[in-house]
Structure 1
Amino acid sequence: MEFGIREITSGDPVVSGLPQDWQDSLYKILFINESGCSLRVNGKKLELEPLSLVFLAKGIGIAPCKGESRIFQMLYFSQGFAARTEDELSFLLSFGPLQKSLQGYTILKLTEQYSSYYHLMVSHLEMARCNYNRAIYRDLAFNMVRQILLMGHIYLQQSEYAPVHSADNESRLVSEFRILVQKSVKRERKVSGYADQLKVSQRKLTQITKRITGRTPKELINEHLGDLEKRMLADGDRSIKQIAWDLGFRDVNNFSASFSKRFGISPKEFRKKWRL
């Protein structure tokens, strides 16, 4: 599922009911309530303070701590869910807390005055999840997630809500690379082209991207291209042939073969399934 929220204890198996690749394919935001909790993030045990939001990028691993029983909420969503337009995708990719840093997490500590708002957000997200088959609730989920990201963007820049860590030069380079990919992937799919734009060597870009995200630049390019293809098939009324040309494929058969190989479903079948 592209969006969801679940109540779990830190000692529960977090992966239950989620797709096998959820750690790599989904963004995650943890809602820590008044009790706080402990959790392992990328193998490191963290004691998470009460009333805080923990932003985790795709690729960041979380696991339970033995003996922990305190409850927290985990919101998870895909890139396609949070980015319906190019502007929304640019915002998502430039939002540092959801781009994998060397430490892997960013914590936003809320003040006591936000306690009721915290629970209101959680209850509305639960409502949206339970009624996700209805368009109005999908819009509610999208708007709630958008609001949380905007709130994080605003408050993490203020000293009283300072994050646990700030992005370093390498993290910024990867963020800039991902923004460039978002803007240019239709016409540029070579790592060397992005390295030239960023004024670094292809080798350096590959080393830093692999260290920060766990994936190569080429893998990130292909991932974004796949997300773009799915979004174009799901939205609008352009024919599959027109989409193939817009994405730089020589003909629709090449596009269909490439899409089917990567996703196990043809573009036509994907569009039909999405619009049911």
Structure 2
Amino acid sequence: MKKKTQIPVHSMDDWFSGVYIQPMGIRKLHHPVYEMSQPHRHDFYQCVLVDKGEIVMEVDFEKIRLRDRHVFLSYPGQIHHIVSTQMQHGWFLAFDAATLDNNLRSILDQFLTEIMVMQLPQQLFESFYSLMDHLYQIYVNPGQLYQQQALQAMTCAFIYQLASAYLQEERSALSRHSARNIEITKTFRELLRHHGKSVRSTSQFAAKMNITASHLNDTVKSVTGFPVTYHIQQELIREAQRLLCFSDRTIMEIAGDLGFDDPKYFTRLFSKITGVAPGKYRKGKCKE
């Protein structure tokens, strides 16, 4: 695979207008016209709802298999591509972050996982499918009044329901933790998603949240099993892996891009977390 100086980023403005929805499967996608089997990023959210069939995707170096009644949501900035597809029928929904209200964007940013994927119960799946179908009927009728407003409202309604279903699963897994500790951890996750490259210490995050560094660290560790520094480092190394595999930037340039003044420290940290030096990672893992 030939690398590029920069990771391909496909913009909502290039292809769609705020919201885009199409059936997948026998009826082929008219857009996007870029090659979906090649690793790329979006500057928008992408949702896939599988009715019948299977799609295998790779998202930030993790393979995801979507089958009947699975729903998947990717965040802007994640690197992904389709490995294989035998989709019989499903839906593809893309939407700009500006489509969502501030509360909904915050909810999505606070999820404790980096990849949202789940299999829906039959009744809930049918409800989601119906919403997608209704959204599509609005999308393909450009002559109606207030089409764009209706598309945005319906997309928000769909994502709110998706977030609700996902949060129920998440809360069940976190039931032994207090509501306050979960709230602190989620706020930290939201800040990390937005400031992971510029805010680099527990104390800086704690100051933004008006709590002590020790309280933040103890809380995050109790809920996730890992301290704050672990999450900060994971965010940085994940971006380093993206740049190593899908750009021609040197290791020194990547270290600088990620805010490391000392490239040697970056190399040591990368090696500690991944088990291999950046150069070997690029030559080995990136070619798998």
User: How far did 1:6 drift?
Assistant: 2.2
Residue deviations 1:60-83, cap 9 Å, x none?
A: 233222463544322111111223
Task: Give the stretch that moved more between structures: 24-33 or 110-119.
Answer: 110-119
Q: What is the TM-score with the length of structure 2 in the denominator?
A: 0.51
Alpha-carbon distance between aligned partners in 1 of 2:160 and 2:170, rounded to the nearest angstrom: 17
SS of 2:72's equivalent?
strand
Q: Which residue does 2:62 correspond to in 1?
A: 44
**Residue 117 (structure 1) shift:** 2.3
Q: Give, in whole Å, the separation in 1 of the partners of 2:171 and 2:189.
A: 24
> Match of 1:158, SS?
helix
Where in structure 1 are there 5+ consecutive unaligned residues? 84-88, 182-189, 220-276
Q: Percent identity?
A: 12
Q: What SS class does the counterpart of residue 71 from structure 2 fall into?
A: strand
Q: Given residue 94 of structure 1, which amino acid in structure 2 is its aligned partner?
A: I
Q: How many residues align?
A: 195
Deviation digits for residues 49-108 of structure 1 (CA, Å, limit 9, x no counterpart):
31122121112233222463544322111111223xxxxx133123247x694xx41123
Write the distance in 2 (CA, Å) between the matches of 1:193 and 1:109.
37
Alpha-carbon spacing, 1:29–1:39, altered in 2? closer, same or farther (3 Å): same
- CA–CA distance in 1 between the matches of 2:32 and 2:61? 15
Work out whether 1:63 is the aligned partner of 2:81: yes
Counterpart code for 2:33: S
Question: What residue number does 1:155 align with?
Answer: 165
Contact between 1:171 and 1:212, CA under 8 Å: does it hold in 2?
A: no
1:118 equivalent in structure 2: 128
State the alpha-carbon separation in 2 of the partners of residues 100 and 127 from structure 1: 34
Deviation of 1:24 after TM superposition, in Å, equals 3.3
In 1: Cα distance, 2:235 partner to 2:74 partner: 17
Displacement of 1:27: 0.7
Instruction: State the AA in 1 paired with 2:19.
Output: F
- Superposed, 1:208-223 pairs within 5 Å as 209-211=235-237
1:9 Cα deviation after fit: 4.5
| 1:59 and 1:100 in contact (8 A); partners too | no
**C-alpha distance in 2 between matches for 1:154 and 1:61:** 25
Q: Identify if the C-alpha distance between structure 1 residues 173 and 35 changes in structure 2 by more than 3 Å, giving closer, same or farther.
A: same
TM-score normalized by the length of structure 1? 0.52
Structure 2 spans left out of the alignment, 5+ residues: 1-15, 174-181, 214-228, 243-256, 258-288
Displacement of 1:31 in angstroms is 0.7
- Higher-RCO chain (CA-CA 8 Å, sequence separation at least 6): 2
Structure 1 pair 73/196, CA: closer, same or farther in 2 (3 Å)?
same
Superposed CA RMSD: 4.7
Output aligned runs, 1:94-113, within 5 Å: 94-96=107-109, 101=113, 104-113=114-123
Question: Helix, strand or coil for the counterpart of 2:42?
Answer: helix
User: Amino acid of the residue matched to residue 74 of structure 1?
Assistant: F
| Among 72, 86, 89, the residue aligned to 2:90 | 72
